[in-house]
Amino acid sequence: MRSTLLSLSLLSLLGLSAGQLRHQHQHLHRHRANRAPIAKREKITVTDSKYSTTTEVPEVVVYVDQNNNPIRTTIETVVYVPVSVETYEASTSTTPTTEISPLSTKAAPVVQSESSSYQAASPTTQQALSSQHVSADSYPTSSKSASSSAASPSSSSGALHGVAYSPYKGNGECKTADEVDADFALIAKDYGVIRLYGVDCDQVATAYAAAKKYGNKLFLGIFDINSIEDGVSTMAAGVQNDWDIVDTVSVGNELVNDGGATVYQCISALSQTRSLLRSAGYEGPVVIVDTFVAILAHPELCDESDYCAVNVHPFFDPNTGPDGAGSFVTSTVSNIRSKLSDSSKRIVVTETGWPWQGESNGEAVPGMDQQSTALSTIKKAYASNASNLILFTAFNDMWKKAEAATFMAEQYWGMGGQYSPCDE
């Protein structure tokens, strides 16, 4: 897949694959880590020889610090100016300036555009997606765990894909045990592993009861890395120390990409969580989950995890249509694999999907037919390796807020447009 690196002003920018916008999986009453916002620019002007006329398009922009660490991903209007055009009327007022981030020093934007033509990458591209399209099972699924006692998921769930699940009603309130049970009754037979993100709303206990009843495994999460001890304690109580039902435990979700924590903080939290879980009797995998943008920039997040856990959303690449979703995922995974210290390490896509409603993002068009096509290509890529794929998400998340930055689609990623019974 061809990936074009664009230089802005005199800044040296990191060549990353198209950044994906974040899904805020925390409850409505939770707050993101406090940090100074990076003001959204009206336009960014870039000189690009592949354009013959001045062209304005919305693009995914990844803000990085001077060490090329991703800070924030958003959508900006990019003005592409042909090399032959020396000036552009709007550029004098819209040329990007450097913003200050408390995470580091200077935050610089990286604009990344991916072509669906899969031509050879530009020589200046440092981290373009691999042009080689491979099936999701082209590499071994076993890995050398960071902990010698870390176990692989049960083979009983290996023939089915996983799915992400939210314990919140459309009004933001917590689902009751009966409502969680009703949800599982609808989805349990189609998915081996159900992924949760935190321990609030008594979600571990209610999901555990439902998973035991319907025969699922649970992918649990410590969302707040500032409360790891409480999180592990709540988790242990929620599963009644029946750790056999737990497939994986994640530490954070997209924290490096969102600027919620540093790489060091995430790895430190991983180590603490793993130690506490081992003491509590859990011997399975413990992983850091982040976006492919963050993982490509910091493969050590995967190197330190018991396997590589990465969120990959092709919808946020404006040059990928529904029929290219599967190729986007496998190409991304292939590129990540090339960055790992152990190239045979297991890689699990912990989020991927397609919205059925919202606004278009270039060739990425939401819709029921489009979602069906995208999911079909993704599932086909993982047909013989289903346990390495978790789809996003089981039901529409009506508790979230529709925003232009996520193409008004944030609420509508439910499989087949499905609503939780408590939201119908």
Q: Which residues are catalytic?
A: 351
177-187 vs 203-214: helix axis angle to the nearest 10? 40
Tokens for 24?
């805020």
Name the strand (E) or helix (H) holding 332: helix 325-339
Tell me the two tokens of residue 220.
């649990």
Bridge partners, residue 227, by sequence: none
Tokens coding 135: 């099936």
What are the E-state strand segments in 265-369? Answer: 286-291, 308-311, 347-351
- The first and second tokens of residue 272, run together, are 């603490």
| Cα–Cα distance list, 339 to 67, 342, 411 (Å) | 18, 9, 33
**Quick check: helix, strand or coil at residue 75?**
strand
| Lookup result for tokens 């190239």 | 343
Cα separation, 131 vs 110, whole angstroms: 21
Phi-psi region of 215 (alpha: psi -120 to 50; beta: other; left: phi over 0): left
d(CA 178, CA 322): 35
In the chain, the largest separation of any two C-alpha atoms, in whole Å, equals 68
Report CA-CA distances (Å) from 273 to 227, 228, 236, 417: 10, 6, 12, 35
Q: Which helix (H) or strand (E) segment is 41 a member of?
A: none
